[in-house]
Amino acid sequence: MISSLLAVAKEKGAKEVAEAKIKLGKMQQIDIDILNLAFRELTRGTLLEKTKIKVEPEETRFRCRACGHEWNFEAPGKSEEEEAIHFVPELAHSFLRCPRCRSPDFEIMGGRGVWVEYIKISR
Ligand SMILES: [Zn+2]
Protein backbone atom coordinates (compact mmCIF):
# COMPACT_ATOMS: atom_id res chain seq x y z
CA MET A 1 0.00 0.00 0.00
CA ILE A 2 2.72 2.46 0.97
CA SER A 3 4.85 1.66 -2.07
CA SER A 4 1.91 2.21 -4.40
CA LEU A 5 1.16 5.52 -2.67
CA LEU A 6 4.76 6.58 -3.09
CA ALA A 7 4.78 5.57 -6.72
CA VAL A 8 1.65 7.61 -7.47
CA ALA A 9 2.96 10.62 -5.56
CA LYS A 10 6.28 10.55 -7.43
CA GLU A 11 4.59 10.11 -10.76
CA LYS A 12 2.56 13.25 -10.10
CA GLY A 13 5.62 15.19 -9.00
CA ALA A 14 4.33 15.71 -5.50
CA LYS A 15 6.46 17.35 -2.84
CA GLU A 16 4.13 16.26 -0.16
CA VAL A 17 1.00 14.22 0.14
CA ALA A 18 -1.48 16.01 2.35
CA GLU A 19 -4.05 13.31 2.64
CA ALA A 20 -4.73 9.81 1.47
CA LYS A 21 -7.94 7.91 1.72
CA ILE A 22 -7.62 4.22 2.20
CA LYS A 23 -10.38 1.69 1.81
CA LEU A 24 -10.02 -1.23 4.07
CA GLY A 25 -11.99 -4.38 3.50
CA LYS A 26 -13.73 -5.55 6.62
CA MET A 27 -12.53 -9.05 5.97
CA GLN A 28 -8.94 -7.94 6.21
CA GLN A 29 -9.21 -7.89 9.98
CA ILE A 30 -6.73 -5.05 10.31
CA ASP A 31 -7.02 -2.73 13.24
CA ILE A 32 -7.20 0.89 12.07
CA ASP A 33 -5.03 2.15 14.95
CA ILE A 34 -2.37 -0.39 14.11
CA LEU A 35 -2.57 0.58 10.46
CA ASN A 36 -2.07 4.23 11.41
CA LEU A 37 0.91 3.43 13.61
CA ALA A 38 2.50 1.24 10.99
CA PHE A 39 1.96 3.96 8.41
CA ARG A 40 3.74 6.54 10.58
CA GLU A 41 6.63 4.18 11.20
CA LEU A 42 7.06 3.15 7.60
CA THR A 43 6.79 6.57 6.02
CA ARG A 44 9.30 8.41 8.19
CA GLY A 45 11.61 10.42 5.95
CA THR A 46 9.49 9.92 2.83
CA LEU A 47 7.02 12.02 0.90
CA LEU A 48 4.33 10.50 3.04
CA GLU A 49 5.75 11.58 6.34
CA LYS A 50 3.05 14.19 6.94
CA THR A 51 0.23 12.52 5.14
CA LYS A 52 -2.99 12.31 7.02
CA ILE A 53 -4.63 9.03 6.28
CA LYS A 54 -8.33 8.48 6.33
CA VAL A 55 -9.36 4.91 6.58
CA GLU A 56 -12.78 3.86 5.51
CA PRO A 57 -14.01 0.36 6.08
CA GLU A 58 -15.48 -1.34 3.07
CA GLU A 59 -18.42 -3.66 3.43
CA THR A 60 -18.03 -7.20 2.35
CA ARG A 61 -20.34 -7.90 -0.57
CA PHE A 62 -21.56 -11.18 -1.90
CA ARG A 63 -23.21 -11.99 -5.19
CA CYS A 64 -25.26 -15.10 -5.75
CA ARG A 65 -24.31 -17.02 -8.89
CA ALA A 66 -27.70 -18.69 -9.01
CA CYS A 67 -30.07 -15.70 -8.90
CA GLY A 68 -27.76 -12.65 -9.11
CA HIS A 69 -28.85 -11.26 -5.77
CA GLU A 70 -26.23 -9.07 -4.04
CA TRP A 71 -25.97 -8.51 -0.34
CA ASN A 72 -23.61 -7.19 2.31
CA PHE A 73 -22.11 -9.29 4.97
CA GLU A 74 -23.31 -7.72 8.18
CA ALA A 75 -22.46 -9.92 11.04
CA PRO A 76 -24.83 -9.61 13.96
CA GLY A 77 -22.95 -10.09 17.20
CA LYS A 78 -19.89 -12.21 17.59
CA SER A 79 -20.06 -15.87 16.84
CA GLU A 80 -17.38 -18.44 16.24
CA GLU A 81 -18.38 -18.64 12.60
CA GLU A 82 -17.94 -14.92 12.25
CA GLU A 83 -14.40 -15.08 13.58
CA ALA A 84 -13.67 -17.87 11.17
CA ILE A 85 -14.98 -15.78 8.26
CA HIS A 86 -12.69 -12.94 9.15
CA PHE A 87 -9.64 -15.12 9.09
CA VAL A 88 -10.54 -17.44 6.27
CA PRO A 89 -13.04 -15.82 3.89
CA GLU A 90 -13.14 -19.02 1.86
CA LEU A 91 -14.93 -20.61 4.78
CA ALA A 92 -17.92 -18.37 4.10
CA HIS A 93 -19.09 -20.87 1.53
CA SER A 94 -19.48 -23.63 4.05
CA PHE A 95 -22.22 -21.91 6.03
CA LEU A 96 -23.47 -18.80 4.24
CA ARG A 97 -26.41 -19.00 1.89
CA CYS A 98 -27.98 -16.52 -0.51
CA PRO A 99 -30.69 -14.73 1.51
CA ARG A 100 -33.02 -14.83 -1.48
CA CYS A 101 -32.74 -18.30 -2.97
CA ARG A 102 -30.67 -20.12 -0.32
CA SER A 103 -28.04 -21.10 -2.86
CA PRO A 104 -24.57 -21.70 -1.43
CA ASP A 105 -23.08 -20.75 -4.80
CA PHE A 106 -21.97 -17.14 -4.49
CA GLU A 107 -18.90 -15.02 -5.00
CA ILE A 108 -17.22 -12.58 -2.66
CA MET A 109 -17.04 -9.20 -4.37
CA GLY A 110 -15.54 -6.79 -1.91
CA GLY A 111 -14.21 -6.29 1.54
CA ARG A 112 -11.09 -8.30 1.07
CA GLY A 113 -8.50 -5.75 0.09
CA VAL A 114 -6.70 -2.62 1.09
CA TRP A 115 -6.45 0.06 -1.54
CA VAL A 116 -6.03 3.76 -2.01
CA GLU A 117 -9.10 5.68 -3.06
CA TYR A 118 -7.49 9.08 -3.58
CA ILE A 119 -4.57 11.24 -2.53
CA LYS A 120 -4.25 15.00 -2.18
CA ILE A 121 -0.86 16.34 -3.08
CA SER A 122 1.07 19.59 -3.05
CA ARG A 123 3.85 20.23 -5.53
ZN1 LIG B 1 -29.58 -16.45 -4.89
Span from the CA of 63 to the centroid of ligand 1 (angstroms): 8
List, for residues 19-40, the tens digit of each pLDDT value: 998 888 776 677 888 888 989 9
* Cβ neighbours of residue 104 closer than 8 Å, sequence gap 6 or more: 93, 96, 97, 98
What confidence score (pLDDT) does residue 18 get? Answer: 92
What confidence score (pLDDT) does residue 91 get? Answer: 64
The CATH number that applies at residue 83 is 3.30.2320.80
Higher model confidence: residue 111 or residue 6?
A: 6
Collapse the DSSP code of 36 into the 3-class scheme (helix H, G, I; strand E, B; otherwise coil) and give the result.
helix
Total domains in the chain come to 1
Q: Range of 84's domain?
A: 2-122
List, for residues 38-54, the tens digit of each pLDDT value: 899 999 999 899 999 99
Span from the CA of 81 to the centroid of ligand 1 (angstroms): 21
Most confident segment among 5-14, 19-28, 86-95? 5-14
Span from the CA of 101 to the centroid of ligand 1 (angstroms): 4
Span from the CA of 110 to the centroid of ligand 1 (angstroms): 17
